[in-house]
Structure 1
Amino acid sequence: MDRFELEFKRRLKKVSQELKQLEDLLRENGIDIPNQNIVLKSDEKIWIPTGYIRTVQYFEQKYGLYNLLGDEILAKNIEYALQASDFFNYILNRFRIGLSVEKVFYKLAIINMFSIVESLLYGITKKCHSHCQLNNGVCRNNEKCVFYIKKPNKYTFENLLKILREKKLICMPEGDQQKLLEIKGLRDNIHLWDVSNKDYFNDNYNLANYNFLVRVLQALNEDLHDTLITFEDERNSQCKKR
């Protein structure tokens, strides 16, 4: 193990001990945490280290979402969700949370990351469909055209993956596609009143599934700009919109 890594772990342990002592200090002085707390100004609280949560401008440059999706609001919303993923990443990599709260936190992190992937795919679909729109509806060739894609709300997520693969807009392996559908099932358990089992004891809320979504997002970011250009070039050269 490198010397800097040993030093990092030593300091991390020291920070952990200091945090515990802070909470012990409150209890020893009659503060019933978490029901009660010391009121702190914003600049008196613990700061997440500057630079760990990357800026919106960083994600604008890295992902080029506005150029990719042609939708400024959707691009911004995805960029804000990517910032939130940095926060989840920090907590998961720096804190031993424990109890059922750890599963809850993994669930929240997975929901956020899945929503980014989902929004990216539906955003591409929306952009492709917009080409086929006319003032009085859609192009009359619609289903007869190999380049036609319906409105995003006409597809289930499973069908969306299928159509995007058929149109060669995504190059996702079959196994990854199936895994993504399984994780969608985890995401859909968002309503506590409608979950029939002990959802937070589900072992699928874990680092492996979170990291899988991170890898999927990275692959989409690498592929979509090129596949969309190819799709649009071929479509535009053959388009008979009317």
Structure 2
Amino acid sequence: MEIEKLQREAGFNPPVSQMILSKKDRIRLPTGYIRTTDYFNAAYSIYPLVKDKLLKQNITYAFQYGDFLNFIANRFDIGLSVQSIFYKYQIINLYTIIEALIRGCMKNLNDYCDGDGKCPITECKYRSIKFDAKDLLKVINEFRRLEVLHWDRDDVKMIDKCRRLRNNIHIHITDESELNSDEYTMKNFNDFVVRILHNIRDNFYPNFKEHFQEMMKNCQRKKTDK
């Protein structure tokens, strides 16, 4: 790139040292490439299904960061070990969104049932088991029990694979060279992570919305409290 040549001619040695470019001289993303938070809220029904305001905001910001990563992936020929690591962080970012969306919905159920004190009605088909769900698989299996999430074992294995890939953000626990890994690829990104996200949008969310509405309509505790 011309700017790199100019930097070296000026005595700089990128990336170790380089001149500070003014805002007008920097590479700019195309206008509109990064979609708005309102777009993601509408496209993925983030509100009202995820009611926690801070969580909702952070999910949309992560979606926007995903657009930025998408731009880099589709406009730059990265190569070398950086390409594998780049795909790794694309997978990690989208997995954190998936995790937050599912956990946010579970929090809604728990808050509705126990937000103002533990519900005394234990025999309720709408009620979720409240637990400290540090393991996303526990949350997923609870939604499967409630018949809100219609994933079979292969689907659960797929999300578990994404979880394991996400956990490799901790470099000290990885057991293979990330340069030679066949896990961090655009194919895996599309086949696993993007597929799961679209499944949540197209199947899980409509089911969850119906479940929540039925729960509010038929809540025995609310009827008893009147």
TM-score in terms of structure 1 length = 0.83
Identity %: 33
1:1-242 alignment, distance < 5 Å: 19=1, 21-133=2-114, 135=116, 137-142=117-122, 144-151=123-130, 153-154=132-133, 156-211=135-190, 212-241=192-221
One-letter amino acid matched to 2:85 = V
Secondary structure at the residue paired with 1:53? coil
Counterparts of 1:54 and 1:224 in 2: how far apart (Å)?
Answer: 23
One-letter amino acid matched to 1:102 = Q
8 Å contact 2:85–2:178 — kept in the other structure? no
> How many pairs align?
221
C-alpha change, 1:96 and 1:173, in structure 2 (3 Å) is: farther
8 Å contact 1:125–1:152 — kept in the other structure? no
Unaligned segments of structure 1, at least 5 residues: 1-18
C-alpha change, 1:200 and 1:111, in structure 2 (3 Å) is: farther
Q: CA deviation at 1:68?
A: 1.4
Q: CA deviation at 1:152?
A: 6.0
Unaligned segments of structure 2, at least 5 residues: none
Counterparts of 1:41 and 1:162 in 2: how far apart (Å)?
Answer: 52
8 Å contact 1:122–1:152 — kept in the other structure? no
C-alpha change, 1:91 and 1:152, in structure 2 (3 Å) is: farther
Counterparts of 1:139 and 1:200 in 2: how far apart (Å)?
Answer: 52
TM-score in terms of structure 2 length = 0.88
C-alpha change, 1:84 and 1:134, in structure 2 (3 Å) is: closer
